[in-house]
Amino acid sequence: MAFTVVYLTAIVLVPLLTLPAKSFADGWGYFWQTVVDPRVVASYRLTVGASFVAALVNGVLGFVVAWVLVRYRFPGRRVIDAMIDLPFALPTAVAGITLTSLYAPTGWFGQYLEPYGIQGVYSPLGITIALIFIGLPFVVRTLQPVIADLDVELEEVATSLGASRWQVVFRVILPYLYPAWLIGFGMAFARAIGEYGSVVFIAGNMPMRTEIASLLIVTKLTQYDYVGAAAVAFVLLILSFILLLTLNALQGWSARRLGY
Amino acid sequence: MERTAAGVLTMSAPTLRPPPRPGLTEPAAVRVLLTSVALLFLVAFLFVPLAFIFVEALRQGWGAYVAAINEPGARAAIWLTLLVAALTVPANALFGLTAAWAVTKFDFRGKRLLTTLIDLPFAVSPVVAGLVFVQLFGRRGWFGPWLFEHDIKIIFALPGIVLATIFVSFPFVARELIAVMEASGREEEEAAGLLGANGWQTFMRVTLPNIKWALLSGVILCTARALGEFGAVSVVSGRIRGETTTVPIHVEILYNEYAFQASFAVASLLAVVAVVTLVLQTVVERRSRQTGAGAAEAAVQA
């Protein structure tokens, strides 16, 4: 008990408390000046925007993947099911260099994008691709158990009452899955906001254009602007906190809704 | 349902059930379409990247592959990474055990705060995790001047790397155990206590057998993260070649020097670790479900 508290305090609490302390070390003025700097604002906008788009793509395709894995039978299903967690297990730096090489103009995928003038790397698109990769398991893994738990009898009842398959899917199944889907989406979004390793290679890191917030922190750090780095990090931390709290609230809501 | 990344990772695969009767599923054409979309997405985003790592690593043949891994810088990085994991994983396993024990078997004020704190590293960007340690122990950090006077190096040295790795990887064991210990309740421990077992006996004979699979799974995840952590370590490492470069940092350095083949060769080691992690996870999950089912059956028969 005492060990738990001491360990947590030493490893988590004290280190995190240095952030607000450091952010305001040079006063409110400097903090505010850093945070509203156009370059910083651009990085926040890019981070949140790309994370949102990536989470949305994962929301749609992750739903299809979860549905197919639970409901349909095809060869290789179990191997594929186990592979879903690869983005969790693969170090982010490895994911980063791999995706960058694949989507570079000469890469396996990039060569097909180039003729159309689409830039797969060093662009917001590249950042989104990396974020789709690392967020992929979240929606799939939150939906799978809920889809497996779906009461087939409900579908039978709806069908026997004359509902078409379309109606069953949209009126019976989707409303039931919605809370879990939202949680999976939220987790993918939250994870993408703080992501660094997989994005830093593919982003190209051009200020104002392809510089994400966590990279900006590292840049400020290497320029010995510790207070600036802390300020950017503090805002990022608050953002993830809000997301974490929202997710917890969603969790409670969905538990009530599903009647656990 | 679990709440965080680690929880998701260990969520059990849905139990097998017979395919639904016709009329209760989509038309064949829709099924084929959905399956193709899902497979295409997974092939493009999971399988091709994984295969690409090995193709690129072996592009100049086995000789170049072995040379890239056997080079002194790479060997030093591998040793450092193993050392960091060897220090991090036991510390976090011990913490996970005590934390889960405290949270699930006792009631006290501030319990919610404690569980939130345990979850926190998942919500914090790895870069921020590294940054806070620089602020504490860096040259201009809170303890910086004192450390400098006493010639103790934490940032840009092994202790900083270990601290950052502990920070990002400690929720895994705790979370896994809390989930299982919450589900198993306190009755068995209380019964053991009434029958005269002391705390240690209760833990070894009652609690540990119940949680061993969850503990193992938490340790596997924690190890995988400790071996592969990049963001937090890159902030505190300082990239002193052969001294403070872990394997992921070494991969980054090689890549930025345009030594692509060598970079992917070293990266392939991490990819192998990732695949082994997934296989172990699947095995542990299956075993734990079997023992779980076995126990339930025994209970029914009794």
pLDDT at A121: 85
More confident residue, B22 or A245: A245
- Residue B36 sits at the chain A interface (C-beta within 8 Å): no
Distance of CA B56 to the CA centre of its chain: 26
CATH number, domain containing residue A189: 1.10.3720.10
A15 found inside a domain: no
- Tokens for A99, please give them: 């995706």
Predicted confidence (pLDDT) at residue A39 exceeds the cutoff of 50: yes
**Tens of pLDDT along B130-160?**
998 888 888 777 777 787 777 788 888 899 9
**Tens of pLDDT along A6-34?**
888 887 888 888 888 888 877 888 888 88
**Burial of A37 from C-beta contacts in 10 A (0-12 / 13-18 / 19+):** middle
Among positive and negative, which fits the CA dihedral A105, A108, A111, A114? negative
A190 found inside a domain: yes
What's the one-letter identity of residue B144?
Answer: G
List B residues 67-106 in contact with A (Cβ-Cβ < 8 A).
95, 98-99, 102, 106
Residues in contact with A29: Cβ distance below 8 Å, sequence separation at least 6, in sequence order: none
- φ, ψ for residue A194, nearest 5 deg: -95, 0
pLDDT at B122: 79
Interface test with A, best of B135, B168, B221, B276 (most A CBs within 10 A): B135
Mean pLDDT of chain A: 87
A184 found inside a domain: yes
- Tokens for A6, please give them: 């001491």
The distance in angstroms from the start CA to the end CA of chain A is 30
A5 found inside a domain: no
For residues A179, A184, A188 and A194, what is the CA-based torsion angle, rounded to 10 degrees? Answer: 70
**Tens of pLDDT along B58-112?**
999 899 999 999 999 999 999 999 999 999 999 999 999 988 888 887 888 777 7
How far apart, in whole angstroms, are the C-alpha atoms of residue B138 and residue B136? 6
Residues in contact with B43: Cβ distance below 8 Å, sequence separation at least 6, in sequence order: none
pLDDT at B194: 86
- Residue B271 sits at the chain A interface (C-beta within 8 Å): yes
pLDDT at B10: 42
Q: Are the beta carbons of B104 and B178 closer than 8 angstroms?
A: yes
Distance of CA B71 to the CA centre of its chain: 28
- Tokens for A92, please give them: 């982010």
Q: Which domains, from first to last, does chain B contain?
A: 20-57 (no CATH), 62-301 (1.10.3720.10)
A12 found inside a domain: no
B283: left (phi over 0), alpha (psi -120 to 50) or beta: alpha
Number of folded domains that form chain A: 1
- Tokens for B195, please give them: 């029958």
* Residue among B249, B100, B66, B63 at smallest CA distance from B177: B100
Q: What is the DSSP letter of B80?
A: H
pLDDT at A226: 85
Comparing CB atoms, the residue among B38, B49, B167 nearest residue A68 is: B38
A19-23, A122-126, B170-174 — which is least confidently predicted?
A19-23
pLDDT at B179: 83
pLDDT at B294: 53
Helices (H), chain A: 2-8, 14-23, 27-35, 38-71, 77-83, 86-89, 92-103, 110-113, 124-149, 152-160, 165-167, 174-194, 197-203, 213-222, 226-258
User: How close, in Å, is residue B271 to chain A by CA atoms?
Assistant: 6
Chain A positions in Cβ-Cβ contact with residue B56 (cut-off 8 Å): 101
pLDDT at B302: 46
* Residue among A182, A197, A68 at smallest CA distance from A133: A197
CB B135 to CB A15 under 8 A? yes
A164 found inside a domain: yes
pLDDT at B298: 54
Instruction: Write the CA distances from B232 to A8, A141, A214, B267, integer angstroms.
Output: 18, 26, 11, 18
A143-153: average pLDDT: 87
Q: What is the DSSP letter of B16?
A: P
Predicted confidence (pLDDT) at residue B280 exceeds the cutoff of 80: yes
* Residue B1's pLDDT band (cuts 50, 70, 90): very low
Predicted confidence (pLDDT) at residue B262 exceeds the cutoff of 80: yes
CB A194 to CB B123 under 8 A? yes
**Tens of pLDDT along A191-233?**
899 899 999 999 888 888 889 999 999 988 888 888 888 999 9
A20-29, A95-104, B220-229, B256-265 — which is least confidently predicted?
A20-29
Query: Tokens 């002194």 label which residue?
Result: B72
- Which strand (E) or helix (H) includes residue B278? helix B260-301
A139 found inside a domain: yes
pLDDT at B267: 95
Q: Which domain holds residue A139?
A: 27-258
A204 found inside a domain: yes
Give this prediction's pTM.
Answer: 0.87
